[in-house]
């Protein structure tokens, strides 16, 4: 992958990518060393639907478009996305919470006693949950500036 040039942008404008005519194209904004190897393009198909994609040039100089944001016929939303989709990037801290679950049968006088009995055994590592007990996962992202 190589650095994009103004000539590349001029050659891509007006071409067709995945059935969309490229209406606008630019180099991606970014702080990474290779940000200028990628671009953002705005396309419109014959049905009047708009898309924005990130893209780069392949070795054979063809456009590889991906991460499409599809806007239907909403031209204004597509234009806003084209102008800003790479400018609002920020760092996030993502918390991954895995849920493990095991059912333990105990004989007790009431639910509280049953829970206490199992908790004591769990504290003593008589009940150890592992990947076989996996029942779900949750992802929660917050801006890195938040604690």
List pLDDT tens digits, range 5-52: 888 889 999 999 999 999 999 988 766 666 678 889 999 999 999 999
Banded model confidence at residue 90, pLDDT cuts 50, 70, 90:
low
Q: Could you tell me what percent of the chain has a pLDDT over 90?
A: 61
Q: In sequence order, which residues have a C-beta less than 8 Å from that of residue 37 and are 6 or more positions away? A: 1, 2, 3, 4, 56
Q: Binning pLDDT at 50, 70 and 90, where does residue 3 land?
A: confident
The distance in angstroms from the start CA to the end CA of the chain is: 37
Whole-model pTM: value is 0.56
Question: What pLDDT, on a 0 to 100 scale, did the predictor assign at position 16?
Answer: 94
Provide the H-helix boundaries in the chain.
6-12, 75-84, 111-123
In this prediction, residue 132 has a pLDDT band, given cuts at 50, 70 and 90, of very high
pLDDT digits (tens, 9 = 90+) for 111-120: 999 999 999 9
Nearest to 29 by CA among 19, 20, 40, 13: 40
pLDDT at 88 over 60: no
Matching residue, tokens 């992202």: 141
Domain residue limits, the chain: 6-84, 92-143
**Six token digits for residue 45:** 């198909």
Higher pLDDT, 147 or 12: 12
């Amino acid at each position: 992958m190589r650095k994009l040039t103004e000539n590349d942008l001029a050659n891509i404008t007006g071409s067709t990518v995945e059935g969309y005519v490229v209406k606008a194209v630019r180099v991606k904004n970014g702080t990474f060393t290779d940000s200028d190897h990628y671009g953002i393009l705005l396309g419109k198909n014959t049905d009047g639907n708009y898309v924005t994609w990130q893209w780069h040039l392949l070795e054979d100089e063809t456009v590889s478009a991906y991460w499409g944001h599809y806007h239907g016929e909403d031209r204004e939303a597509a234009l806003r996305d084209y102008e800003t989709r790479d400018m609002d990037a920020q760092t996030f801290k993502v918390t991954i919470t895995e849920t493990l679950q095991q059912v333990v049968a105990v004989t007790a006088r009431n639910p509280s006693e049953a829970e206490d009995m199992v908790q004591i055994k769990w504290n003593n590592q008589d009940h150890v949950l592992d990947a076989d007990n996996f029942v779900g996962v949750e992802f929660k992202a917050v801006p890195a500036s938040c604690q």
